[in-house]
Structure 1
Amino acid sequence: MSVENVMTLEKKKGFTLIELMIVLAIIAILAVVLIPKSQIFKNNSKNAGVTTNVNTVRGYLETKVTNNGGADSYLNAATLKTAIASNFSLDSSTFVPTGSSSSEQLVNPFDKTKASVAVADKSSGATNNTVDTVETSASDGADGEVVIYVCKDGYVVFGVDKGGDLTQTFKVK
């Protein structure tokens, strides 16, 4: 090997400016494509948290109704508010989690400082709603809340997701 070839080999260490610019361009393109999608995935996971909270409340109500002889004899709206707050470690007036985080708490997945449950009494009035006739409305709850309607013959449970849309509605009789 000649001295010239050895010198040439020693100078070819590292990356050229063009190679670095190509790598940076690829990273920039990936960032532009993936970063906006991360917010979608984040909201989808939080919406799944709302669904989990709805299923938790539904399971609680089904258990209580079964153990107490039916929805007619179980809870009115005022008593239900107290029972939900007590069983899920929530403030009884605001339904915001109290104290330190625990596995029994219902937490609003979109904002931990906001209510996670809303209870509305639909059992009286001119319409005298039943679980089969009550009209559900997202205006009865805010993003991330589980809404419970107390009807004359049971409960209607649903959640409100980030877009203000209702999750699946469950009827507990």
Structure 2
Amino acid sequence: MFKALQADSITLYLINDDNLAEVYALFQGHPDSRSMVEELLRNYLPAYDKGQRTNYGFYSMLGTELAGMALLTVDSWEERTGSTGADIFEHMRGRGITPRSKPHLFYLAFELLGLNRVATGCRVSNLSSKRSIEKTVGFQFEGLMRESGVNDQGEFEDEYLYAILRRDWLTLYDKSQVRVLT
């Protein structure tokens, strides 16, 4: 198993049970540490289905600075589909970290795991996430999922859906740009 994926000036470090205490300590000392740790525990921990890992959570570093987290989830091994997401510390936002982390996640999905499709989305009201997704080369808008989630106000809200296919990744990305660190 690998420990990290590196490209550009971003390194994604895989979160595992054996480094969780270190990750927890690393996430302390920021104004939004509490909400980021809650998100880490809710969505970024390893998960397995029939002994096969399905949740690949990472903490992301921009150079030597902790930036946030990135995630690839295998939604179906049979259909070879996955989904991705990210959470960035407030003081690190606006630096293009999320779109610049996608080549790492796409490499994991398409090259290492053999997936065919990776989707992502955001609530209609989340304009910064929408801009970030639209900056990511390869993601294509596929539609609107009506009232697919509940927002912070407890109301149903629509979500935008985007996806990239393996064949698109092969033509748009240079997989040699991603280094696997063991």
Q: With the length of structure 1 as denominator, give the TM-score of the two structures.
A: 0.24
More strand per residue: 2
Larger Rg: 1
TM-score of the two chains, using structure 2 as the length reference: 0.23
